[in-house]
Amino acid sequence: MQTDPTSLPFAKMHGAGNDFVIIDSRRREASVITPSLARAIGDRHRGVGFDQLAEIRSAEDADLRLDFWNSDGSISGACGNATRCVAAQVMAETGATSLQMRTARGLLRAEQREGRIWVNMGAPILDWADVPLARAVDLMALPLPGDPVAVGMGNPHCIFFLPDAEAAPVATRGPEVEHDPLFPQSTNVEFAALIAPDHLRLRVWERGAGITLACGSGACATAVAAHLRGLTGRHVRIEADGGRLEVAWREDGVWLTGPVAHVFDGQFTRAFLEANP
């Protein structure tokens, strides 16, 4: 297939079923993504479809910068699995075994260890104003039905611990909590069940995306919440709908790893881009 110089190349990747479109804009002067273009690309029938879109930008103080978009056209402050996917792609291209990546979350470090990509998602946010919440409450016992926990990982998370995650009302309770007034910027919603002191089952409703097969920042937030509730240690395996993630809460931050897959490369045509400015 002949490449149109006015088209936009992209890669499709996923981490434990959490799927992404990745666009490399490092050679461009400005971002190419707009809310309307993100929504069009995110349409699984008329576009490509994704849980999040990651745009790679140049950075003066890091190896690269990452901007994240949800499929509804809103901006996502953090995305752990997409960060791992981008790190895997760039490491494969450059031969690097570590990267510094600038995100809205801050400066994140990725490392390749024994064939796996680990990303340090930073320290958890445990102050109500910074999560953010609408008012001062106990993050470990939110005033919502189900006694959830709030943790920030560059984006807000509300975590419910249940006896059986398979029976969790993800499709109904998820959107209700996402837009609860307690969360002025809305929230991701996690439903977790304890399997063992180092093992959790997790199902996810992501703000701006809906039900997803996994969520990296959600796995990190859930691991932090589980430890603070006294359910687990600081290193846990997390079984998401799309696969297994691993989280280690260390002194220097919350580290995340799991599977990464490069599915295909493609290009958005000029006609598609012009129809969705």
pLDDT at 130 over 80: yes
pLDDT-based confidence at 4, cuts 50/70/90?
low
5 pLDDT exceeds 60?
A: no
Closest alpha carbon to 20 in 36, 41, 46, 37: 41
Given a contact cutoff of 8 angstroms between Cβ atoms, the answer to whether 273 and 8 are in contact is yes
All structural domains of the chain, each given as residue ranges with its CATH number in brackets, are: 8-120+260-275 (3.10.310.10), 149-251 (3.10.310.10)
Q: Which residue has the tokens 């260390």?
A: 250
Beta bridge partners, 202, equal 192
Residue-wise pLDDT tens digits, 174-209: 999 999 999 999 999 999 999 999 999 999 999 999
pLDDT reported for residue 72: 93
- Check if the beta carbon of residue 166 is closer than 8 Å to that of residue 145: no
Is the pLDDT confidence value at 2 over 70? Answer: no
- The residues that are catalytic are 79, 215
Burial (0-12, 13-18, 19+ Cβ within 10 Å), 256 = buried
Which DSSP string corresponds to 84-146?
Answer: HHHHHHHHHHH--SEEEEEETTEEEEEEEETTEEEEE--SPB--TTTTT-SS---TTS-SSTT
Q: Which pLDDT band, with edges at 50, 70 and 90, does 7 fall under?
A: confident
User: How much is the mean pLDDT over the chain?
Assistant: 95
Is this model's pTM higher than 0.85 or not? yes
Helix residue ranges, H only, the chain = 35-42, 80-94, 170-178, 216-228, 270-275
- Other CB atoms within 10 Å distance of the CB of residue 266: 15
The string of pLDDT tens digits covering residues 53-92 is 999 999 999 999 999 999 999 998 889 999 999 999 999 9
